[in-house]
Structure 1
Amino acid sequence: MIQERVFVNRSLRVAVVGAGPAGIYAADFLTKSGTEVDVDIFERMPAPFGLIRYGVAPDHPRIKGIVDALHRVLGKPGVRLFGNVHYGMDLKLDDLRQHYDAVVFATGAVDDRPLDIPGIHLDGSYGAANFVSWYDGNPHVARTWPLHAGSVAVIGAGNVALDIARVLAKSAEEMLSTEIPDNVFAGLLGSAVTDVHVFGRRGPAQAKFTPLELRELDHSSTFEVVVDPEDIEFDDGSMTAIRGSKQVDMVVKTLQEWAIRDRRPHRRRLHLHFFHSPVEVLGDNGVVTGLRTERTELTGDGNVRGTGRYHDWDVQAVYRAVGYLPSHLADLPFDHDAGVVPHESGRVLGIDDNQLEGVYVTGWVKRGPIGLIGHTKGCAAETINSLLTDAPTLPSAPHRHPGAIEDLLSARGIDHTTWNGWLRLDEHERGLGRERGRERIKVVEHEDMVRVSRG
């Protein structure tokens, strides 16, 4: 819950860096606090919504429906959007402190967490973040993707791993009902994939994907989901997890059902493997030719240990989906081991754990890339409560006029986009979709997004 109205002898001016769910939820809590506040949201992309637009698989319309709620926040009086503004290049922390009483960073996590095994840097070994960015039409990645491998490995047992596996296994025609751009459809149409192998180091009861995400795999008519009955194994720790969580129980029951059902003939197959820990990406002449895994076994408490038994899988591409990693932000401290900005209840902590006055974090850059989008709300509420508690004692920014930041951006030659610009781009993309009987077709090129947004 957000605390009651805070008395401040002036209107509060707050900058939010990042227009994904974390940043927009922060703005929403500020506007609902009862405190007189103006919020400006700065976003590197010409369009808002961050993870929802560029990190969620395009065949997830249910999750993308969250955009409707975020849309209402950005359309509120007292909230302004400044897109196409790159923090750290176009604006620095000192610039924001000159114009705002408080700054909230909500920049998320866009890099892949490393996987330190031999061969991980071979040609044909990819990080999840780049592939997701490609199929979601992120303007900052290449327009083509190599899909010449017939057999593919995906390392990881979370929702992102399932997203990647599902997109690889589906037919291009099945994805055509989504908002994928033309270049992504063309790439998927030429895909040689017949088998996708997903590897989890531990067992079914320790998988990190959600029941709904798992069951969605079986909704496709273009590939078969295969589970090895030998991978359905539990120890005391596993049974405790199953009894203690309805979600774990649902995941386990689904996997058990799939393991014993009759095989169905399909041209493509998606295999879910458990108790396989990746130890090496195999290669020849610098190119991926396989993946070596070590069979693991349960230790009684839900953890696993290696058995010394190895298996070489004949795959020609490897995707690692072992987690995202926030990037170090200019002028802010960063804990490189944890991959987050040091903080206390959202208050950024500098040298000797002293608070950086008026500087806050929320979302994945605050707590790490964990939890679903819904968890971001509670995270934002905690940070905004801290900000509002501090508000009466925060120094007043010297350049408080709302037009001052626009003048600064103009003086630096930054063609920023606005909320009205997003509405133009939104309608343009929907128009492209209507021409082909689809809901939307994304504009991919950065310059085209800016051009359409600025009219």
Structure 2
Amino acid sequence: MLRVAVVGSGPSGVYTAQNLVQLDPGVHVDVLDRLPCPYGLVRYGVAPDHEKIKSLQNNLRTVLEHERVRFLGGVQVGPGGLPADRLRELYHAVVYCVGAATDRHLGIPGEDLPGSWSATQFVSWYSAHPDAVDDGFVRGTRSAVVIGAGNVAVDVTRMLARGAAELSPTDMPQAALSALAASPVTDIHMVARRGPSQARFTTKELRELGGLPDTELVVDPDELAIDPAYADPSALPAVQRRNVEVLRGWGGAGLRGAARSIWLRFFLRPVELLAEDGRVGAVLFERTEPDGRGGVRGTGQYETVEAQLVLRSVGYRGVPLEGLPFDEDTGTVPHVRGRVLHGCFTVPGEYVAGWIKRGPTGVIGTNRPDAKETVTSLLEDASMLVRKELPEDPVTALRAAGIEPVRWAGWQAIERAEAALGASLGRSVVKLADWESLLAAARATAS
């Protein structure tokens, strides 16, 4: 019997477990997660108003309820938890599916001022991640700047513009909903350093901005026209072409006096975050222009945009894992078809999948073929891996190390507690937002 540990219960981890049990009728899989809740970014990264995408949890649930799959939540692998060497002793193979845990920085003066955050920190707050910090993101904020042109940038822009009526039916934690509903934000600037034909958001996400109640979009056609592909987008890939066409339709519309305005800005590069009363008060941008090689160059023209809140959404980055090699340039673990590469050699029993393997690229579905490639490599090694004798059941070893894992029954207890909380607030499901509440719910009826 092949016993495999999958570290991480997001889409890449669950798809890895799914492939393992589908392709080998004898394999048993433990899916470990640092959090007591499964699903990774589907639970803590997908916007709460995107119910269709969040419903993917139902598909992931089916895998985690498979008779040869165990969910073990609340298990930290590495410093402060179970040492990686000990984990490898307990399993024939370990697959790391831990994603990209940090954000890229702008690297400009003022970036560390109060009021300046990564978009991920903001998302974690309104998604009830137990590590999130409630620092009054929107308190006293009239004008917000979102730096980036991907789907996460669109998500946080949309959340800043949403009202209580649209957010109440979601599973957003009550504190975040109350804060956003009472937010004084009237202007949201989503700013990209390049043009509309190079933006990374999808057209569906973009169009959602145009359907927000009591919110108007402001797009400057002269700014769009700096993009060489703006006049004739027919040669662009389909998504970029549709993006340009949508933006062209919005260009030049005047202000109508709505409660909120979303300003979609292009060809502006942040140069400095400017302080006012000890916190962010504005962002200094330099106008850019195409350099003819797919990038942009500065023009020496500058513009200041008022902002009491700045959210950077300029990409993610993986972090080193205990006992594994790490490529600082790419933020990934070196590998050959998922097998971890130590120098010039792969080590049987160590594998990677997901963002820590390929970098923060693709959509949720990209994890399916990625996981299958890794699992194929692992199963090719299976005849050699099963020769290792395992000392004991991993759960017994975890308990001996002082770690009481949250089993599937514990997660189901959390779900019931969140449903009860929602009912008490006159809403549907409302997420528990802190470690104490989550663990108390899990321990109440977990076995």
Q: How does the TM-score come out when normalised to structure 2?
A: 0.94
Q: Is 1:68 matched with 2:61? A: no
CA distance in 1: counterparts of 2:360 and 2:213, whole angstroms: 32
- Report the CA distance shift for 1:302/1:98 in structure 2 as closer, same or farther (over 3 A): closer
Partner of 1:78: 68
Q: Which amino acid aligns with 2:310?
A: V
- Alignment partner of 1:374: what SS? helix
1:116 to 107, 115, 119: 107
Cα distance, 1:219 vs. partner?
2.2
Q: 2:350 matched to which residue of 1?
A: 359
Measured at CA, do residues 83 and 241 of structure 1 come closer, stay the same or move farther in structure 2, by a change above 3 Å? farther
Q: Pick the aligned partner of 1:207 from 189, 199, 202.
A: 199
1:134-213 pair list within 5 angstroms: 134-147=125-138, 148-213=140-205
The corresponding residue for 1:414 is 403
Residue identity opposite 1:113 in structure 2 = R
Please say if residues 84 and 417 of structure 1, whose CA atoms lie closer than 8 Å, have aligned partners that are also in contact. Answer: yes
Q: Which amino acid aligns with 1:186?
A: S
Number of aligned positions between the proteins: 442
Q: Which residue of 1 aligns with 2:309?
A: 317
Q: Which of 426, 433, 439 does residue 444 from structure 1 map onto? A: 433
Q: Which residue of the partner structure matches residue 382 of structure 2?
A: 391
Match of 2:20 in 1: 30
Matched, 1:332 2:324: yes
- For the pair 1:299 / 2:291, whether they are aligned, the reply is yes
The yes-or-no answer on 1:375 pairing with 2:363 is: no
Name the aligned partner's letter for residue 142 of structure 2. Answer: G
CA distance in 1, matches of 2:230, 2:291: 10
State the one-letter code of the partner of 1:194: T
Residue 32 of structure 1 aligns to a residue in which SS? Answer: helix
Deviations 1:99-140 (CA, angstroms, capped at 9, x unpaired): 111100001123111211111111211111211111100111
Q: Which moved more, 1:441-450 or 1:89-98?
A: 89-98
Q: Secondary structure at the match of 2:356?
A: helix
C-alpha contact (below 8 Å) 1:237/1:301 kept by paired residues: no
Residue in 2 aligned with 1:95? 86
Q: Deviations over 1:17-39 (max 9, x none)?
A: 00111100000011110341000
Matched letter for residue 274 of structure 2: L
Structure 1 residue 51 and structure 2 residue 41: aligned?
yes
Measure, in 2, the Cα distance between the counterparts of 1:397 and 1:430. Answer: 44
Could you report, residue by residue, the CA deviation over 1:375-429 in whole angstroms, capped at 9, with x for unpaired residues? Answer: 111211111111111222225343265xx21111212222211112212211221
Tell me the residue number matched to 2:266: 274
| Aligned residue in 2 for 1:5 | none
- Per-residue CA shift, 1:127-168, capped at 9, x if unaligned? 112111111001112244331221111111111111111111
How far does residue 239 in structure 1 lie from its aligned partner after superposition?
7.8
How far apart, CA to CA, are the structure 2 residues paired with 1:159 and 1:287? Answer: 27
- The one-letter amino acid paired with 2:412 is L
Task: Select between 231-240 and 249-258 the one with higher mean Cα deviation.
Answer: 231-240
Structure 1 residues 388 and 237, CA gap change in structure 2 (3 angstroms) = farther
Structure 2, gaps ≥5 residues long: none
What's the CA shift for 1:316?
1.9
Aligned 8 A contact 2:142 2:308 in 1: yes
Q: Where does residue 4 of structure 1 map in the other structure?
A: none
Tell me the SS of whatever aligns to 1:219.
Answer: coil
Q: Are the structure 2 counterparts of residues 146 and 234 from structure 1 closer, same or farther at C-alpha, using a change threshold of 3 Å? A: closer
| Alignment partner, residue 394 of structure 2 | 405
Give, in whole Å, the separation in 2 of the partners of 1:391 and 1:106.
19
Deviation at 1:313, TM superposition (A): 1.2
- Deviation of residue 199 (structure 1)? 0.6
% identical equivalent positions: 43
Over 3 Å counting, the alpha-carbon distance change for 1:228 and 1:234 in structure 2 is: closer
Equivalents in 2 of 1:47, 1:375: separation in Å?
A: 22
TM-superposed CA distance for 1:298, in Å, is 2.1
Give the structure 2 partner of residue 424 of structure 1.
413
Q: CA offsets, 1:66-93, max 9 Å, x none?
A: 1111010001110000001111132122
- Deviation string 1:184-204 (CA, Å, 9 cap, x unpaired) is 112213322110101101111
Between the aligned partners of 1:105 and 1:317, the Cα distance in structure 2 is 35
Matches within 5 A, 1:3-42: 11-42=1-32
Q: How far apart are 1:284 and its partner, in Å?
A: 3.8
Cα distance in 1 between the residues matched to 2:122 and 2:176:
11
The CA distance in 2 between the partners of 1:244 and 1:192, in whole Å, is: 39
Q: Shift of the alpha carbon at 1:237?
A: 6.2
Report the AA paired with residue 95 of structure 2: V
Consecutive unaligned residues in structure 1, runs of 5 or more: 1-10
Q: C-alpha distance in 1, partners of 2:232/2:16? A: 36
- Once the two structures are TM-superposed, the CA of residue 275 in structure 1 deviates from its matched residue by 0.7
Tell me by how many angstroms 1:354 deviates.
Answer: 1.6
Q: For residue 83 of structure 1, what is the amino acid of its counterpart?
A: G
Deviation at 1:333, TM superposition (A): 1.3
Whole-Å separation in 1 of the counterparts to 2:176 and 2:302: 36
Residue among 210, 231, 241 paired with 2:223 = 231
